């Protein structure tokens, strides 16, 4: 099967793509914000509600056993997908933001002290900045920032930002603002050499290349299901098992306890220790199905599709000279941020929408980056494995038409 045929086959599995938007065929290029869902994921959620809706772990009846089994099979699927050593290292969260906050409250708040340093990069999403600011406010720790080169990569001397005072590094593997892929393997090694822990934000990486956390040797890794063709409101925190069991509890309530009395409470070990209350059962089941679906496509084809999308976009960036394209690094995903000093990016996004092209505009939750670069934000087109050459051609045509309308 050719690459074009393979993408066409994949597109058939996404019902939402086969519609008109404002009279034009939908071109969905906002995948960094959220990916669309294949029919298999949609069906798995419907099946749960139609056939075995019940609460998990606690029930002694048939439906509860089915629901629990489906949920725990998703945990197993995620463990295999990210290469974790133990299934207990997989914690279900509300998403990337929730996972980062869990580590901030359950580890950083109790382990850091005055003068300790937390290291992030200038390109971080707000969700990987604000929790650490709160930790610093409460503990007296200091937030340090790795600057960026003009192409969006970390500065050449980024290793010098790690020192004896560095106790935590928390960095994104792929920038949601530029698409640049950062040298995470080297960062993990440098952090550990300095005696620091490291959290990897893989929200933008999870659908682009294998994570393999045991090989990576990171202490924590987080991602969101909706970036991986799964439901919203569900995510994963991976943590090394001994580290998870040594962390403080984050939320308290049902399911995460061993014994409750008015004299005191004892808690479960991971993963239940961090999964208080009724979980997002249908979301977990949907995420498991998304991972099974995605794994069936295979990393080889996924890589080929993205490399082809990058090649298609080279002609767009070369042809549409009225725009400044950001993040043109050799190591990047098929994500493109662009802007013009002649018009506002929001106006460009609105005109593209009128032609059926869905992109993102704004600061993309990376305001410190744009402030450092004296910009208010960008327009952003981000690809997934169902985007074909026709989508790229339509993007180019719509950009040219919109720019003509904006500047004449």
- Asked whether residue 10 falls in the same domain as residue 75, the answer is no
The angle at the Cα of 155, spanning 334 to 107, to the nearest 5 degrees, equals 85
| pLDDT bracket for residue 1 (50, 70, 90) | low
- Asked whether residue 391 falls in the same domain as residue 316, the answer is yes
Q: Which helix (H) or strand (E) holds 302?
A: helix 299-319
Q: CA-CA distances (angstroms) from residue 9 to 39, 62, 74, 275, 395?
A: 13, 37, 25, 38, 21
Q: Which helix (H) or strand (E) holds 153?
A: none
For 204, phi then psi, to 5°, come to: -90, -5
For the chain, give the percent of residues with pLDDT over 70: 100
- Would you say residue 351 lies in a domain? yes
Contacts 24+ apart (CB under 8 A), 392-397: 392/309, 392/312, 392/313, 392/316, 394/25, 394/27, 394/355, 394/356, 394/357, 395/27, 395/29, 395/316, 395/352, 395/357, 396/315, 396/316, 396/319, 396/320
- Would you say residue 37 lies in a domain? no
What confidence score (pLDDT) does residue 408 get? 75
- Asked whether residue 283 falls in the same domain as residue 312, the answer is no
Domain boundary among 244, 262, 295: 295
What confidence score (pLDDT) does residue 246 get? 95
What confidence score (pLDDT) does residue 60 get? 87
What are the structure tokens assigned to 182, written together? 């950062």
Residue 99 has pLDDT above 90, yes or no: yes
**Residue whose tokens read 């038409």:** 401
Residues 158-177: tens digit of each pLDDT: 999 999 999 999 999 999 99
What are the structure tokens assigned to 188, written together? 């993990």
- Asked whether residue 345 falls in the same domain as residue 212, the answer is no
What confidence score (pLDDT) does residue 51 get? 98
The residues facing 200 across adjacent strands are: 171, 221
- Would you say residue 204 lies in a domain? yes
What confidence score (pLDDT) does residue 148 get? 97
- From the list 130, 143, 365, 375, the catalytic residue is 365
Cα gap 169→185, rounded to integer Å: 13
**Which of these, 45, 16, 35, lies nearest to 229 by C-alpha position?**
35
284 in Cβ contact with 74 (< 8 Å):
yes
Cα gap 122→116, rounded to integer Å: 19
Residues 208-242: tens digit of each pLDDT: 999 999 999 999 999 999 999 999 999 999 999 99
**Residue whose tokens read 């002290």:** 113
- Asked whether residue 125 falls in the same domain as residue 196, the answer is yes
What confidence score (pLDDT) does residue 59 get? 78
257 in Cβ contact with 267 (< 8 Å):
yes
What confidence score (pLDDT) does residue 5 get? 84
**Which of these, 143, 141, 137, 144, lies nearest to 114 by C-alpha position?**
141
Mean pLDDT over each residue of the chain, to the nearest integer:
96
181 in Cβ contact with 331 (< 8 Å):
yes
Residues 310-355: tens digit of each pLDDT: 999 999 999 999 999 998 788 999 999 999 999 999 999 999 999 9
- Asked whether residue 256 falls in the same domain as residue 237, the answer is yes
Q: Which residues contact 277 (CB under 8 A, 6 or more apart)?
A: 251, 253, 254, 255
* Number of domains observed in the structure of the chain: 2
Q: Which residues contact 53 (CB under 8 A, 6 or more apart)?
A: 63, 67
The residues facing 197 across adjacent strands are: 168
**257-268: average pLDDT:** 93
Helix (H, G, I), strand (E, B) or coil at 38: coil
Q: CA-CA distances (angstroms) from residue 186 to 38, 192, 291, 332?
A: 35, 10, 27, 17
Residues 36-76: tens digit of each pLDDT: 999 999 999 999 999 999 999 977 899 999 999 999 999 99
What confidence score (pLDDT) does residue 330 get? 85
| pLDDT bracket for residue 94 (50, 70, 90) | very high
For 238, phi then psi, to 5°, come to: -90, 140
- Asked whether residue 54 falls in the same domain as residue 121, the answer is yes
What confidence score (pLDDT) does residue 115 get? 97
Strands (E), 40-105: 90-93
- Asked whether residue 269 falls in the same domain as residue 280, the answer is yes
Helix (H, G, I), strand (E, B) or coil at 36: coil
> Whole domain around residue 361: which residue ranges?
3-30+298-407
- Would you say residue 36 lies in a domain? no
Q: Which helix (H) or strand (E) holds 208?
A: none
For 63, phi then psi, to 5°, come to: -65, -40
Beta 360-362 vs 378-382: how paired, if at all?
antiparallel
What confidence score (pLDDT) does residue 88 get? 98
- Asked whether residue 52 falls in the same domain as residue 190, the answer is yes
Q: Verify whether residue 218 is a known catalytic residue.
A: no
- Would you say residue 240 lies in a domain? yes
DSSP string computed for 363-375: -TT-HHHHHHTT-
Rounded to two decimals, the pTM is 0.97
CATH number assigned to the domain comprising residue 194: 3.40.640.10
What confidence score (pLDDT) does residue 327 get? 81
């Amino acid at each position: 099967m050719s690459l074009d045929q393979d993408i066409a086959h994949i597109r058939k599995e996404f019902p939402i793509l086969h519609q008109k938007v404002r009279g034009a065929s939908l071109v969905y290029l906002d995948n960094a914000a959220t990916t669309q869902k294949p029919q298999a994921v949609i069906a798995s959620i419907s099946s749960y509600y139609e056939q075995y809706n019940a609460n998990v772990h606690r029930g002694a009846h048939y439906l509860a056993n089915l629901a629990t089994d489906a949920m725990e099979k998703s945990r197993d699927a995620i463990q295999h997908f990210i290469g974790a050593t133990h299934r207990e290292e997989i914690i279900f969260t509300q998403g990337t933001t929730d996972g980062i906050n869990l580590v901030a409250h359950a580890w950083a708040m109790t382990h850091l002290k005055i003068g300790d340093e937390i290291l992030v990069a200038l390109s971080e999403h707000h969700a990987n900045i604000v929790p650490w600011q709160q930790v610093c406010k409460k503990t007296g720790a200091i937030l340090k920032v790795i600057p960026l080169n003009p192409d969006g990569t970390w500065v050449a001397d980024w290793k010098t930002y790690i020192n004896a005072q560095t106790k935590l590094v928390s960095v994104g593997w792929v920038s949601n603002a530029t698409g640049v892929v950062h040298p995470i393997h080297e960062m993990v090694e440098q952090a550990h050499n300095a005696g620091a822990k490291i959290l990897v934000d893989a929200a933008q990486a999870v659908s682009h290349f294998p994570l393999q956390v045991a090989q990576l040797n990171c202490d924590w890794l987080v991602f969101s299901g909706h970036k991986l063709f799964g439901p919203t409101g569900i995510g994963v925190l991976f943590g090394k098992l001994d580290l998870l069991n040594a962390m403080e509890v984050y939320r308290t309530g049902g399911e995460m306890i061993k014994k409750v009395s008015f004299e005191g409470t004892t808690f479960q070990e991971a993963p239940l220790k961090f999964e208080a209350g009724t979980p997002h059962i249908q979301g977990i089941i949907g995420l498991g199905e998304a991972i099974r679906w995605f794994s069936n496509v295979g990393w080889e084809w996924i890589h080929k599709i993205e490399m082809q999308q990058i090649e298609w976009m080279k002609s767009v960036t070369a042809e549409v000279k009225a725009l400044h394209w950001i993040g043109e690094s050799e190591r990047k995903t098929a994500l493109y941020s662009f802007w013009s000093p002649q018009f506002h990016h929001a106006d460009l996004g609105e005109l593209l929408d009128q032609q059926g092209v869905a992109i993102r505009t704004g600061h993309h939750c990376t305001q410190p980056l744009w402030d450092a670069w004296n910009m208010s934000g960008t327009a952003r087109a981000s690809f997934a494995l169902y985007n074909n050459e026709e989508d790229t051609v339509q993007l180019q045509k719509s950009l040219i038409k919109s720019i003509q309308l904006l500047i004449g």
